[in-house]
Structure 1
Amino acid sequence: MDIRIFLIASSIAGSSLLAVAAEPVPGQADASGFIDGSQLGLNLRHYYSNQHTQRSTFLAIKKPEGVEPTRQRETWVQAAMLNYSSGYTRGTVGFGVDAAFFGVVNLERGHGRVANGGDRVLVDSQGDAVPTWSRLGVGDLRLRFSSSEIKVGRLQTDNPILRYKDNRALPSSFQGVGLFSSELDWLSWQAGSFDRAIGRTETGSERLTTTFGNRAYSGSRISYIGGVARAPYGLDVSLYASRFEDMWEQTYLGLTHRVGDSAQLAFKSALNYYHTRDQGDQNLGYIDNDAFSLALTGSHAGHSLTVAWQQVFGDEYFDYVWESTGNYMANSLYSDYNGPNEKSWQLRYDLDLAPYGVPGLTAGLWHAKGWNIDGTGYQGDRNGRHTGYNVRGLDGAKHDENGLVVAYVVQSGSLRNAVFRTIVYNHRAVGGQIDGSYDEVRLVANVPVSIF
C-alpha cells in the first residue's frame, strides 16, 4: 500500500521496480582513511499532503467520547536528516562507521486535521500530533575486505526482500547485520539478518510484523541471501531466498532484458516472481502464495510507454515485512494489487524533458485496475492455526487508480540536486478492497546540503 510514491516520482523511464545491482562496493585497496574519506551532509525535507476520502471510506479522529469519522486529513512536516559516513581505515581490512540523525517538526498539529493516529506522523495516546520527534535513523559499524563489506547496526537495506520505506517525512531502517559483495564485475550479491524495524513515524524500534497479515503475530528475525548477475545480450538475472522465522519462506526471481538505444528506440521486459510458503510455528497459519508480474516498456528519446500485467495465485495476500518495500512487482503503486487471487494491469507514460532542453524535469502518468479479488477459499487457519489473513469477506472485490507525478531536479546553483515533486492520485475501491477510496495531493521537497 502506497509503497512507491517516492519511487514513482523519480522514475523517468517508464520502468517498473526491478531488482538491480546495488552500487558496487569499492575495493579496500583504494581506502582513503577514516577521516580523509569522511562525508557529512544534511537533507532538508518538506512534506505536505492533503487527503480526502470518498464513498464508504472514512478516517478517524480520537475523541474522549469515542471515535469521530472524518473525510479529510492533512500532513505538514519539516524534516532534517543529518548523515555522516566515515572513510575506511587503510590496510587489508578496513573499518568505518555510518550515522544518521533524523528530526521532525510537525507544522500541522490540529487534532482533527492529522486524523487516523500515527499513520503519517507521530501522535500521543490521545491522538494529538507530537510537536517534534527525533531518532537515530542509521548507526552501524562497517568492515571491508577487498570488495566485500559487513555492516552491523541500523541499516537501510535495499533488495527485493527487505527494502527501506521512504514515502513519509522520514525513511525506515532495520536493525541487524548485512553483507554486501561485488568481487566479480558481473555479479553483486548480499545477505542479511535483521530482528527489529525502526518505523517511519516512530522514535524507537519495534518487532518484525507483516504489512497485510495479522499484526498481533510477529517473527523473531528475517534472513536472506541473493544477488543480481549481469548476463550477455542485455539480460539481468536476480535470485533471492529468505526466511521470516515462524512466518514464511519466500523466494524471488527477477529477469530483466534490454535491447536498443532510447535515443532511437529501446525495449525493456521485466518479469518478477515471488513464491511464499509458511514456515516454522506458522504464526500466520498456512500460506501457499505465488505472485508474478510482467512489464513491457518501449522508449524513444524522452518518451516511455509501459504496459504491465500482474496476478496473484493464492487465497491470502502476497505479503512482505511491515516498514519495508520488499515488493518489486510491476503494479505496486498507491495500491499493491496483491489481494488473494487478484489480477491487475497498468498503463503508464513517462516523459523526460532533458532531450527537449529542460534537463531535470520529468513527469509520469498512470492508470491501473485490479479485479477478481477472492478470499472465500481461505483455509489458512485450518487445524487450529492462527487466522493470519482476514480475507473471507472478499468476493469479487475490485479497484482502480489514476496518478500523475511531476518532478524537477535543480541543475545548478546553491540548490543544485534539490528535488521538488508534486504527486496527485485517486483510488477507488469496491467490495471491501483494503486500500479504500481516496483523493490525495502531495508536495515534497528534498534539499541536500553538503557540509564536507
Structure 2
Amino acid sequence: MYKSTLAFAVAVGVLAQQANAAGFVEDSKLSLSSRTMYFDHDDRDTGSGSSRESGQGFKLDYISGFTEGVVGFGVDAQALWGIHLDGGKGHHPNTSNFFPSDTDGSAVSQWGRFGANAKARFSKTEAHFGSALAPNLPILVSNDGRLLPQTFEGGTIQSKEIDSLTLNAGQLTHAMGRASSNRTGLSVAGASQDSNKFQFAGGDWKVTKDLTLQYYYSNLEDFYKQHFLGLVHVYPIAEDQSFKTDLRYFDSSSDGKNGETGYAFNNNNGYAKNTGEVDNKTWSAMFTYTLGGHAFLLGHQQIGDDGGFVWMNQGNVRKDGTTDTSLEGAAGASFYLFTDSMINQFARAGENTTFGQYSYDFARLGVPGLKTSISYLRGDDIRNQSGNGSYNEWERDARIDYVIQEGTFKGLGTSLRHGVYRGSGEAGADVDQTRLIFNYTYSFM
C-alpha cells in the first residue's frame, strides 16, 4: 500500500469529525470527464513503430473545500479508467505508450488507477500531499496528451501571501504514467536506474499587470540540477491588438551519480561532451502579434553544443529501477520549451530551431468555440553523436478545435490534429500522425 494512500485514509478519519464544517462540503466539486481518442502513428521508414488504435478514458475528480479554523483541511481524489476500443491486429507495437501492453505484446482491454491528496490551507498558503499531483511549472509539466493524464506522488506547497508573488516548492517521489496502472521511480530517458527525490522551488512575480518574471530551481537526485529564468510581457497596442514577448532560459548540469552505469543520460540520441552526463544551456524566445481573431507567432530556440536538453521522463524504468521495453505506458512526458510539439521535441545538442504558427479564432466570424492553427518548426545544426557532423529535422502540425457553446451537448469538445515529421542523418524515423479527440466534462456539484 502506498504511503500516500495511508495518509489519505488518516486524513479522511480526521475530516470525518468535521464533515459538516462550513466550506468542506459546500465548496466541494465532483466531475466526470470523458475522452474518446483515435490515435494513428505511421512510421514511414520501417513501420515497426506504427500504431492505429482507439480508446475511451474516464476521469472522476472529487475536490473538497476546506474545513473551518485557522488551518483548513480537505481531500482531493481521482479515479482513472482507460478502455481499449480497437487497435486492429498488428497495430499495437510493444513500445506503445497509448495503451499498456499485455504479456503477449497486445494492448490490454482496460486499465485504471486511483489517487488521492490530503491538503491544508493557512491564510493564502496551500499544501498538498498524495498521489494525484499534476504540476504545471517551468521545471515540470504533467503530460495529458493521451487518454489519461500523467500524475505524481509527493508533496507540494504554494504561497500567495505577498501580493503579485506566487511561490511554489515541493518534493516528488514517484510518477504514474499516462498509460499505466502502476507507479515508477523518477528518471530521464535512456537511464536504467531511477531516483525517488525530485525537489523544486521558485516563483512567479507579476511586476506589473503586463510583465511577469520567473525563477525556478529543480534537482532530480543523481541525474541533474536545473535553473530556469523566464520573462513574459504583453504590450497592448490597441483595444484589439497586442504584442507578447516570452523569453525562457534553462541551465542544466550533472548531479550525483549522473554519468555512471545506470544513471547516464542518452542526450536524446545526440552528442554529449561527457558521455552520459547532463551539460546543457538552452534559451528560447517567442513573439506573438494578435489582431482580432488572428495570432501570428514567430520564435527561435538554441540548444547548447555540449549536450541535449534534459527533462524528467521515466521511459521504461520499472519500480525497482530495472528496464523493460514492454513496460506498460510509463513513457511520455512534457517539458516547458516551445518546441515540445505533437511528434518531436527539437531538443538535441547544438540544435537551432526556428518556428512559427498562425492561429485564428472564428468567434470573430460569429462561430464561437471554433479555433484552428498551423505551425512549422525546423531544427538545424544538430550535432551527431560523434560531434564531427550535423543534420536537420522539421515538423508541420495542423489542428482544428470546436467546443459546442449551447444546447444539450454544451461543452462537448472535438479536436482533429495532424502532424508530419521528417529528419535527416541520425534523426528519428519519418512519421505521420493523426489524432481525433472528443472531450466532455459533466459536473455533479
- 1:159 and 2:137 correspond: yes
- 1:150 and 2:158 correspond: no
TM-superposed CA distance for 1:304, in Å, is 0.6
Aligned counterparts, 1:157-306, within 5 A: 157-211=135-189, 214-232=190-208, 234-261=210-237, 263-282=239-258, 283-284=263-264, 285-306=276-297
Name the % identity: 28
**Conserved? CA contact 1:163–1:324, under 8 Å:** no
2:353 corresponds to: 344
1:127 corresponds to: 105
Residues 425, 394 of structure 1: alpha-carbon distance in 2 compared, 3 angstrom cutoff: farther
Superposed CA offset, 1:268-317 (max 9, x none): 11111100010122233432210111111111000010111001113322
TM-superposed CA distance for 1:393, in Å, is 7.7
Aligned-partner residue type, residue 129 of structure 1: A
Aligned-partner residue type, residue 54 of structure 2: W
What secondary structure sits across from 1:183 in the alignment? coil
**Conserved? CA contact 1:162–1:324, under 8 Å:** no
TM-superposed CA distance for 1:218, in Å, is 2.1
Aligned match for 1:430, one of 424, 428, 441: 424
- 1:58 and 2:47 correspond: yes
Residues 326, 79 of structure 1: alpha-carbon distance in 2 compared, 3 angstrom cutoff: closer
Aligned counterparts, 1:439-450, within 5 A: 439-450=432-443
2:15 corresponds to: none
Aligned-partner residue type, residue 205 of structure 1: R
Aligned match for 1:320, one of 311, 314, 317: 311
Superposed CA offset, 1:409-428 (max 9, x none): 22122322222100011000
Aligned-partner residue type, residue 138 of structure 2: P
1:139 corresponds to: 116
Residues 326, 223 of structure 1: alpha-carbon distance in 2 compared, 3 angstrom cutoff: farther
d(CA) in 1 for partners of 2:174, 2:436: 30
d(CA) in 2 for partners of 1:294, 1:191: 26
TM-superposed CA distance for 1:232, in Å, is 2.5
Aligned-partner residue type, residue 49 of structure 1: F
Stretch deviating more after TM superposition (405-414 or 441-450):
405-414
What secondary structure sits across from 2:96 in the alignment? helix
Q: Tell me the matched-pair count.
A: 391
1:14 corresponds to: none
TM-score normalised per structure 2: 0.84
C-alpha root-mean-square deviation of aligned residues, in Å? Answer: 1.8
1:381 corresponds to: none
TM-superposed CA distance for 1:52, in Å, is 1.6
Aligned-partner residue type, residue 132 of structure 1: Q
**Conserved? CA contact 1:272–1:330, under 8 Å:** no
What secondary structure sits across from 1:118 in the alignment? coil
TM-superposed CA distance for 1:327, in Å, is 2.3
- 1:367 and 2:364 correspond: no
Aligned-partner residue type, residue 426 of structure 2: G
Aligned match for 1:44, one of 31, 34, 40: 34
TM-superposed CA distance for 1:262, in Å, is 6.5
What secondary structure sits across from 2:86 in the alignment? coil
TM-superposed CA distance for 1:115, in Å, is 2.0
**Conserved? CA contact 1:108–1:114, under 8 Å:** no
Residues 109, 368 of structure 1: alpha-carbon distance in 2 compared, 3 angstrom cutoff: closer
d(CA) in 2 for partners of 1:393, 1:109: 41
What secondary structure sits across from 1:33 in the alignment? coil
d(CA) in 2 for partners of 1:250, 1:230: 22
Give unmatched runs, 5+ long, in structure 1. 1-30, 61-71, 376-390
Residues 326, 112 of structure 1: alpha-carbon distance in 2 compared, 3 angstrom cutoff: closer
What secondary structure sits across from 2:222 in the alignment? coil
**Conserved? CA contact 1:260–1:267, under 8 Å:** yes
- 1:34 and 2:51 correspond: no
1:63 corresponds to: none
d(CA) in 2 for partners of 1:270, 1:448: 31
**Conserved? CA contact 1:374–1:394, under 8 Å:** yes
What secondary structure sits across from 2:306 in the alignment? coil
TM-score normalised per structure 1: 0.83
Residues 88, 306 of structure 1: alpha-carbon distance in 2 compared, 3 angstrom cutoff: same
Higher relative contact order (CA closer than 8 Å, sequence separation 6+): 1
What secondary structure sits across from 2:90 in the alignment? helix
Residues 116, 400 of structure 1: alpha-carbon distance in 2 compared, 3 angstrom cutoff: farther
